Amino acid sequence: MKQIKLKYGIKSGELVHILEVESGLACSCICVSCHETLVAKKGMKRENHFAHASGHSCEFAAETALHLAAKEILNKHRKIMLPPAWIEFDTNRGRYQISDAKSVTIDSLKIETKIETLIPDLIATVNDRDLLIEIFVTHAIDEEKTAKIEQLGISTIEIDLSKAPRDMSMESLKEVIIDKIENKRWIYNARVKSEFKRMLNQTRHMDITSRGFASHVDYCPIKVNIWRGKPYANVIDDCIYCIHCVSYPGDVICCNGHLDPNDIYKPKLCT
Ligand code: SF4
Ligand SMILES: [Zn+2]
């Protein structure tokens, strides 16, 4: 297995790349993880990298450095490209986009600051709203943290660097952190939540009736089927694929087929 080369160190409290420092002990750097003295190995046959002066092989240095570098980059550039956001329905309607990918300016940034019971990597302020940013190098956001975020109701994205080379250059890392969206995902999006709630509030709860092996909803507003003059829908064949079915919690169909099409909030279908 290729050994990961440590490319970042701390100099006078600042994160620096190997290319920014003098060679040898003159680099005046310490390790981001264990804080031992580093030696800059430069101009040799092997690629430039830092090594611990003691010869100690530091298990977490490269990962910690990548995590720190990602935070430094956001702090320096104060902007980020956000991924598109969409509503995913609990039916088979597919997913509907409510916002495109967009670059936003970060007005202020707090690093590892406690917010109630949570310590996110970063709290950014964008257009007067908080945005939590989590950098995933070794620990993805787990269910417990997700639940806390949902409780807080603050939009949160995770930037996944788990498969990124630990020794990637500052420039490549900047591209991934600031400019690209491929490795970013919404853990929670407040607008998705509120728009889904808005759609749900527009619905009528239609009771489900069992008829033999079939589950029916009587008085389907778009009259998808008619039996002896009475409109009905089959839950499995009709409702869960129907554009008007906003939610299927199990005992009812939340349907907006009764509304004037102009009054229905319609996010864009994702392809
Ligand atoms: S979800 Fe569609 S098929 Fe089902 S009752 Fe409503 S309009 Fe009819
Ligand atoms: Zn170390």
What letters, b where the CB count within 10 A reaches 16 and e where it falls short, cover 79-91? ebebbbbbbebeb
Ligand closest to CA 225: 1
Query: Cα(60)–Cα(196) distance, rounded to whole angstroms?
Result: 41
User: What residues flank ligand 1, with Cβ below 6 Å?
Assistant: 206, 217, 220-222, 224, 233, 238-239, 242, 244-245, 253, 255, 257
| C-alpha dist (Å) from residue 255 to 85, 218, 246 | 23, 12, 6
Radius of gyration of the chain (CA): 26
Nearest ligand (C-alpha, residue 207): 1
Record the tokens describing residue 71, joined without a space. Answer: 């935070």
Tell me the two tokens of residue 186.
Answer: 């919404």
Which spans in the chain are helix H? 61-77, 143-152, 170-174, 190-201
User: What is the rounded CA–CA span in Å between residue 223 and residue 201?
Assistant: 22
Q: How do the pLDDT tens digits run along the chain, 271 residues long?
A: 456 789 999 999 988 989 889 999 999 999 999 999 999 999 877 789 999 999 988 888 888 888 999 999 999 999 999 999 998 888 877 778 888 999 999 999 999 899 999 999 999 999 999 999 999 998 899 999 999 999 999 999 999 999 988 778 888 999 999 999 999 999 999 999 998 998 899 999 999 999 999 999 999 999 999 999 999 999 999 999 998 999 999 899 999 999 987 777 666 666 5
The domain spans of the chain are 8-59, 67-189, 202-269
Going by DSSP bridges, is the β-strand pair 230-234/252-255 parallel, antiparallel, or unpaired? unpaired
Choose one of 223, 238, 264 to mutate for the ligand 1 pocket test, by most ligand atoms within 8 angstroms of C-beta: 238
Task: Give kind and range of the element (H or E) at residue 82.
Answer: strand 79-82
The structure tokens listed for 267 are 């996010």
